[in-house]
Chains A and B, each alone.
Chain A
Amino acid sequence: MKPEVDIDNLIDELAINLRRMIEAEELLNPALVGIKTGGVWVAERLRTLLRIEEPLGELNIAFYRDDFSRVGIHPTVEPSHLPFEVDNRDLVLVDDILYTGRTVRAAMNELFDYGRPRAVKLVVLFDRGGRELPIQADLVGAHLKLGIREHAKLTGPDHLALELHRTRG
C-alpha cells in the first residue's frame, strides 16, 4: 500500500528548515552524512537543494549494528565513505526513517571512529515513533502514526516513494 505523501515537497520543506537551522546554530561548512541506503538518497537531495559544496558522506553501519549475534553480517556491498576530515567538523546525519534509534546509535559510534566532530545534528524524513533508545531528531520531515506491526520503507533512488506494509502476528 502506498500512502499519499509528496516526498519531493517534504524534502523541499526539510531543506528550508535545514538552512534555517544551519544559520540559527551557526554551523560552519556543515557536511551531510547519509545513512545507507535511504538516508543517502535524502541527503543527496538536501545537498543539491542547499548547494552544499562539501562532498556527501555515506555511512554503512553494518559493522556497528547491535544484532550481529542475531542476524550475522548484513549483505550490503558498499562500504562507508567519508571524503572529508571529521575532526572538529559540523556534521548533519541524515536518515530516511527514524524508528527504534538503534541505527542512529550505530551511526554515531561509527562517526566517532573517523574523528571527533564538533557537533552532530540529526535530520530524518520520517519519524515513525517506537523509540527504544533516548535519541531524537533535530529536524523531522513528517511524523507517521504506525502500529507496531506496520512497517515503512523508502524506495528509490530515482523516484522516492514511501511504502507501507503490515506483518501478521
Chain B
Amino acid sequence: MRAGNLQLDSQGRLKHFLGIEGLSRELLAEILDNAERFAPVGDRAVKKVPLLRGKTVANLFFEPSTRTRTTFDLAAKRLSADVLNLNIEASSAKKGESLTDTLRNLEAMQCDMFVVRHQTSGAAEFIARQVAPHISVINGGDGRHEHPTQAMLDVFTIRRLKQRFTHLKVAIVGDVAHSRVARSEIHALRILGVPDIRVVGPKTLIPPRIEDMGVSVHHTLEEGIAGADVVIMLRLQQERMQSALLPSAHEYFREYGLTAARLKRAAKDAIVMHPGPINRGVEIDSAVADGVQSVILQQVTYGIAVRMAVMSMVMATQSLTFGNGQGSTDVD
C-alpha cells in the first residue's frame, strides 16, 4: 500500500500525513525545521500561537492511546485550534453506526482535520479517501502499517542530540514484526540518510525479508547494539507472550532487556529511546530508562512540536487550496 501521492497535493505540499514511505528527504527536513520553530513555544509564559485559530481538529481514536492522543490534543491546542476527542470504540461503533456515517457527521460539524488511530493497517488512508477534499487526515498509528508522527519525533530527537544523520549507527530492538513504529522509523532513517540501521530481536519477532528495507538483522542484543549511536527500544506487547511467540517476560528480559551493563556495548555517548509506554524489567531496565543516556521524556516533549509542525503544514496546504485569497500580501 503506497500512500505517497495521496498525501501530497499537485504542488507537492503535504495535505495528509499517512505514512513516511515514499516521502522525500526535503519534505521530512521541512517537517523537522518547522518543529524546531515550534519547540520554543512550550517554554513560554503563554504556550500558544494563534496559527490554527478557528480550525477544528477531531481526534478519532479507534484504539486506546494515552501519549499519542494527549500530545496531538496539546499540539492542536497550542496552535489555538479547537479539539474534539472521540473514543470511537466507546461510542458510535458500539451502537452500530458505520465508519462512513461517523465521518459524514464529523464533516457536518465542520471539522477541518482528523487525527486517526486504528487497529487496522490502512485505516487512515481509507479515511483520507472518504473525507471531503478540504479535510486533512493525520495517521496516529494504523495496525502494523505506520505511525509517522512517532517516527518524525524520533528523528527530531536524534537530530537535536546527534546533529547529523549521515554518520549514525541506529539499532531498533524488540518486537519489530508487530511494530508500526519500527516500520515508520526505518523509512524515516533511510530517507534521511542513516547509513547503518539494525533491527535486533528473536527470530519470531523479526519479519521475514526485512533486509529488503535496507537494514541488517541481529539476533543477539550485544551484537546488535555494538557501537550504536542510537538505541531504540520497542515496547513488548503483553499479548505476544500469551501467543506462542515468546516464552516469558523474564526470559525475554534475560535475552533482550537493555541493562546498564549491555548498554556499555553501544557508543559511549549513545542515546536510548523508547516510544512508550515502557515495560520496566521487560524490554528495558529501570536504571537505563531513568539513566543519563535515556532521552525518553525528551521524546514526549518534542512530540508536541513535531505534531504542531505537521498539523500546521497540512492546514497551510488546505488554506492555499481553499483559502480566501491568492498569492502573497505585502510585507511591511
1/0 contact trace for A91-104 toward B, CB 8 Å?
00000011111110
1/0 contact trace for B299-317 toward A, CB 8 Å?
0000000000000110011
Interface centre among B50, B51, B320 (most CB of A within 10 A): B50
| Chain A proximity of B268: nearest CB distance (Å) | 32
Is A98 touching B332 in the complex (CB atoms < 8 A)? yes
Q: How many A-B residue pairs have CB under 8 A?
A: 80
Q: A68-B319, A69-B319, A86-B45 are in contact. Are A63 and B39 (CB under 8 A)?
A: no
- Say if the beta carbon of A62 comes within 8 Å of chain B: yes
Is B39 touching A113 in the complex (CB atoms < 8 A)? no
Residues of A within 8 A of B326 (CB): 70
- Say if the beta carbon of A109 comes within 8 Å of chain B: yes
Residues of A within 8 A of B328 (CB): 70-71
Select from chain B the residue with minimum beta-carbon distance to A110. Answer: B49
- Say if the beta carbon of A80 comes within 8 Å of chain B: yes
Is B39 touching A79 in the complex (CB atoms < 8 A)? yes
Q: A63-B49, A97-B332, A100-B330 are in contact. Are A72 and B316 (CB under 8 A)?
A: yes
Residues of B within 8 A of A100 (CB): 330, 332
Q: Which of A70, A80, A97, A113 contacts B323 (CB 8 A)?
A: A70
Is A151 touching B329 in the complex (CB atoms < 8 A)? no
| Chain A proximity of B195: nearest CB distance (Å) | 26
- Say if the beta carbon of A118 comes within 8 Å of chain B: no
Is B317 touching A72 in the complex (CB atoms < 8 A)? yes
CA distance A83 to B324 in the complex (A): 37
Q: Which of B40, B325, B330 contacts A79 (CB 8 A)?
A: B40
CA distance A113 to B279 in the complex (A): 39
| Chain A proximity of B282: nearest CB distance (Å) | 39
Is A77 touching B332 in the complex (CB atoms < 8 A)? no
Is B324 touching A113 in the complex (CB atoms < 8 A)? no
Is B331 touching A72 in the complex (CB atoms < 8 A)? no
Task: Count residues of chain A with CB under 8 A from any CB of chain B.
Answer: 35
| Chain B proximity of A108: nearest CB distance (Å) | 13
CA distance A147 to B36 in the complex (A): 38
Is A70 touching B329 in the complex (CB atoms < 8 A)? yes
Which chain A residues numbered 84 to 133 have a C-beta less than 8 Å away from chain B? 86-87, 97-103, 109-110, 112-115, 128, 130
Is A71 touching B320 in the complex (CB atoms < 8 A)? yes
Q: A68-B319, A69-B323, A79-B39 are in contact. Are A103 and B49 (CB under 8 A)?
A: no
| Chain B proximity of A154: nearest CB distance (Å) | 11
CA distance A86 to B46 in the complex (A): 12
- Say if the beta carbon of B33 comes within 8 Å of chain A: yes
Is B50 touching A64 in the complex (CB atoms < 8 A)? yes
- Say if the beta carbon of A50 comes within 8 Å of chain B: no
- Say if the beta carbon of A81 comes within 8 Å of chain B: yes
Is B45 touching A102 in the complex (CB atoms < 8 A)? no
| Chain A proximity of B15: nearest CB distance (Å) | 12
- A-B contact list, 7 entries, CB within 8 Å: A73-B34, A73-B51, A97-B332, A110-B49, A113-B49, A114-B44, A151-B330
| Residues of B in contact with A (beta carbons under 8 Å apart) | 33-34, 36-41, 44-46, 48-51, 312-313, 316-317, 319-320, 323-332
A sample of 16 more A-B contacts (CB under 8 A), given A70-B323, A114-B44, is A62-B37, A64-B49, A68-B319, A70-B324, A70-B326, A70-B329, A71-B325, A71-B327, A72-B317, A73-B316, A78-B37, A98-B332, A99-B331, A101-B332, A112-B46, A151-B330
